[in-house]
Structure 1
Amino acid sequence: MRQRELATLFDFNYWAHRRILTTAARLTDPQFTLRSVIVGRDLRATLVHTLDVECSWRLRLQRRPEEEWRKTLAIADYRNVAALADHWKRDEAEMRAWVATLDDTTLARSADLDPREQYPVWYYLVHLVTHSQQHRSEAAQLLTQLGQSPGDLDFLEYADWARGSG
């Protein structure tokens, strides 16, 4: 994968996150923390988990100390959507700045995280985006059940939006 395509995937990722967070901002605090029997957790926990995994993988791939990337975000630290969106905005800036430094050679190189995890760097970054997509789908389901559908979150919806026709 080349850097340009990777940047597009991250553009899509953050576009979709913003759609979810903008829609979630219309919920009441009790709705934001209403546990779902289908997903097994509430919207807040689903979104905090998604952010946590994105942060953790970035820190791990940046070769930061293990105590940094193993640290789990506390769900209770995000009282409302605004607090979560604020953290996500900061992490997005850090992720984008880091991804912009990765050239095609670096992306193709093995991340060499441990003997069982010998994949190119770009595999992990695609994993990060697809993991987020999985949990955004859960979040979209929860929002829709609460009468607040975020609309379509497909990549081509993003592509139309990005070129100004969506």
Structure 2
Amino acid sequence: MPQDPLSHHLTTMAYNNAWANHRLLAACARLDPAEFVAPRSGFFPSIRATLNHILAVDCFYVDAFEREARDEPPHPRIAEFFDVPEPCDNCQAVQAAQRAVDAKLIAYCQTLNDASLSRVVTILRPSGAQHETRTRLLAHVFEHQIHHRGQVHAMLSSTAVPPPQLDEFFCTMDAPLRRQDFAEMGLSEADIWT
């Protein structure tokens, strides 16, 4: 049965997100602890701080998506996701937590079809309730992740660990370049593209 094109694209974006996080965090895991926490130029002051921010925001939005899917009200206290600025003090902790939230985002996207994308997700903000369609909020989440991963990628340039290639996901010709990552993640090309 053919898949709905937009919802399938959003699912591939969730897979791309998980793959890019896997590849970036594998590079960061090779840093010595001092490099992981060293002050760097970026929106957040270190690789650790930036990765923790990506994780916290992902948890925040995935919670909102899951609540909407279950027809539950929005989270009553969003500050809980940000009360501890850097909950993971090492890269291995970030890797485990990010892998878990990435799996939840993929699972959520796999439930979507194009007819359901106009459903509204509500988030309670300090200024009031925010109402966004699934399509807009997912697009926002993916853009947020790409933005901050790019900052970590740039920060890695000034360390002993070279930044990994993160743009080899969508093209068929690049499949051999991601084969090892997919094996480590337990994925296959067929999982994503068919």
Q: Does 1:8 align with 2:17?
A: no
Alignment of 1:98-137 (within 5 A): 98-113=108-123, 117-137=130-150
Alignment of 1:1-166 (within 5 A): 2-63=6-67, 64-67=74-77, 69-73=78-82, 74-113=84-123, 117-154=130-167, 157-160=168-171, 164-166=175-177
- Taking only the aligned residue pairs, the percentage that are identical comes to 24
Is the 2:61–2:141 Cα contact (8 Å) retained in structure 1? Answer: yes
After superposition, the Cα gap between the structure-2 partners of 1:112 and 1:6, relative to the gap in structure 1 and judged at 3 Å, is same
CA deviation after TM superposition for structure 1 residue 104, in Å: 1.6
CA deviation after TM superposition for structure 1 residue 160, in Å: 3.9
CA deviation after TM superposition for structure 1 residue 40, in Å: 4.2
* Distance in 2 between residues matched to 1:60 and 1:162, nearest whole Å: 36
* Distance in 1 between residues matched to 2:96 and 2:59, nearest whole Å: 14
Q: Alignment length, in residue pairs?
A: 163
Per the normalisation by structure 2, the TM-score is 0.74
CA deviation after TM superposition for structure 1 residue 96, in Å: 1.6
* Distance in 1 between residues matched to 2:90 and 2:61, nearest whole Å: 24
* Distance in 2 between residues matched to 1:137 and 1:103, nearest whole Å: 30
Which amino acid letter does the alignment assign opposite residue 152 of structure 2? A
Helix, strand or coil for the counterpart of 2:40? coil
Please identify the structure whose Cα radius of gyration is greater.
2
Is the 1:3–1:102 Cα contact (8 Å) retained in structure 2? Answer: yes
For structure 1, which runs of at least 5 residues remain unmatched after alignment?
A: none
* Distance in 1 between residues matched to 2:114 and 2:152, nearest whole Å: 33
2:182 is aligned to none
After superposition, the Cα gap between the structure-2 partners of 1:113 and 1:33, relative to the gap in structure 1 and judged at 3 Å, is closer
Could you list the per-position Cα deviations for residues 67-121 of structure 1 after superposition, in whole angstroms to 9, with x for gaps in the alignment? 2x43235344312111110111111222222222222222123335578744321
Helix, strand or coil for the counterpart of 1:95? helix
Per the normalisation by structure 1, the TM-score is 0.85
For structure 2, which runs of at least 5 residues remain unmatched after alignment?
A: 68-73, 178-194
